[in-house]
């Protein structure tokens, strides 16, 4: 498969109002792509679109306001995108949310909220926009999974379930779409400097003080700028990489999971505690939401 050509193609990006989604919008515009940007935060989305237009006046930038937790609205917006853009060269399912708490500390509504946004919405958008990808020679699909789509620590049952599901869905599509000439990439970010840990939703049964301690530990690990992460993703797309891991905070746990599949959890938790500083044993850092750069904080769902 030839390298991906960004020039004069249309790229759809969810979660485009902040973090990696915002950085991807600017990176794609620099490479010559027209943009279709989706997010729930209208003010931030408008600001991103205005900034792209100001720096790249030759690029077309369309925006759509949508809450991906609402699957009916997501379906309607997908129809609107298809009607306006029957040929799409790149789809980046980037938006997502985080939830902290063990399985017995979250409600089923909270669990389903995470799965709906992190898994069902990307599946729905991909299914709806696949004809537009097939219509564009050399198209590409990107699904942003997570470090916790590679490992599944305690306190992340809902989040890891959604991200492992997205990873499996992406890997299956990679094989299914190869004959159509469509590239597929699964992205697994590590510690990207966004607000996801600070603004993550807390399970109803999680003591607030416990979560606050763990969240502060994780925030110390978020060191990679979103712009750098976006460039890693776009280089991976250009080279048609099947999988992109961002940062050693993703690469090392992935290696440990393969080398020590039955015991890597203790090693990863120990490493997080060491890097994040001392904290009470009752509130291990592994319970907080993954430091996933490309995903929006709770309350700012794309």
CATH at residue 152:
3.40.50.720
Nearest to 37 by CA among 77, 79, 72: 77
Q: For residue 159, indicate whether it is catalytic.
A: yes
For residue 137, being part of any structural domain is answered with yes
In this prediction, residues 122-131 reach a mean pLDDT of: 98
For residue 1, being part of any structural domain is answered with no
For residue 234, being part of any structural domain is answered with yes
Please report the sign of the dihedral spanned by the C-alpha atoms of residue 13, residue 17, residue 18, residue 24: positive
Residue indicated by tokens 């679109």: 49
pLDDT of residue 273: 53
180: pLDDT strictly greater than 50:
yes
- Domain extent, residue 272, equals 10-287
- 4, 111, 113, 159: which is the annotated catalytic residue? 159
For residue 4, being part of any structural domain is answered with no
What lies within 8 Å, CB to CB, of 34 at 6+ separation is 8, 9, 10, 11, 59, 60, 61
195: pLDDT strictly greater than 70:
no
Helix H or strand E segment including 110: helix 108-115
pTM for the predicted model, two decimal places: 0.86
For residue 210, being part of any structural domain is answered with yes
Helix H or strand E segment including 166: helix 157-176
Q: Considering its fold, how many domains does the chain have in total?
A: 1
145: pLDDT strictly greater than 60:
yes
172: pLDDT strictly greater than 60:
yes
For residue 292, being part of any structural domain is answered with no
Cα torsion for 134, 95, 121, 50, to the nearest 10°? Answer: -70
pLDDT, tens digit, 9 for 90 and up, residues 24-34: 999 999 999 99
For residue 301, being part of any structural domain is answered with no
For residue 299, being part of any structural domain is answered with no
pLDDT, tens digit, 9 for 90 and up, residues 7-65: 999 999 999 999 999 999 999 999 999 999 999 999 999 999 999 999 999 999 999 99
Largest CA distance in the chain: 55
pLDDT of residue 60: 97
pLDDT of residue 199: 58
């Amino acid at each position: 498969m030839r390298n991906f050509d960004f020039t004069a193609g249309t790229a759809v990006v969810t979660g485009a109002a902040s973090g990696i989604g915002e950085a991807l919008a600017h990176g794609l515009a620099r490479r010559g792509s027209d943009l279709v940007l989706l997010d729930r935060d209208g003010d931030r989305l408008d600001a991103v679109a205005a900034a792209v237009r100001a720096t790249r006046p030759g690029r077309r930038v369309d925006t759509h306001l949508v809450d991906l937790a609402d699957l009916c609205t997501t379906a309607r917006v997908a129809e609107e995108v298809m009607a306006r853009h029957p040929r799409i060269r790149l789809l980046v399912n980037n938006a997502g949310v985080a939830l902290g708490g063990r399985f017995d500390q979250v409600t089923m509504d909270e669990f389903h909220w995470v799965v709906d946004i992190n898994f069902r919405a990307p599946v729905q958008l991909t299914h709806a926009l696949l004809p537009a990808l097939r219509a564009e020679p050399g198209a590409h699909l990107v699904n942003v999974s997570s470090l916790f789509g590679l490992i599944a620590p305690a306190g992340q049952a809902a989040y890891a379930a959604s991200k492992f599901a997205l990873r499996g869905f992406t890997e299956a599509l990679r094989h299914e779409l190869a004959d159509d000439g469509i590239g597929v990439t699964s992205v697994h970010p590590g510690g990207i400097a966004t607000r996801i840990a600070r603004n993550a939703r807390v399970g109803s049964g999680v003591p607030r003080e416990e979560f606050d301690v763990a969240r502060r530990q994780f925030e110390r690990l978020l060191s990679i700028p979103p712009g750098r992460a976006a460039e890693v993703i776009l280089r991976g797309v250009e080279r048609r990489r099947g999988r992109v891991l961002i940062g050693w905070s993703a690469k090392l746990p992935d290696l440990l999971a393969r080398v020590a599949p039955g015991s890597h959890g203790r090693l990863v938790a120990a490493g997080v505690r060491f890097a994040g500083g001392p904290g009470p044993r009752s509130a291990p850092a592994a319970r907080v939401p993954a430091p996933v750069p490309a995903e929006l904080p709770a309350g700012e769902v794309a």
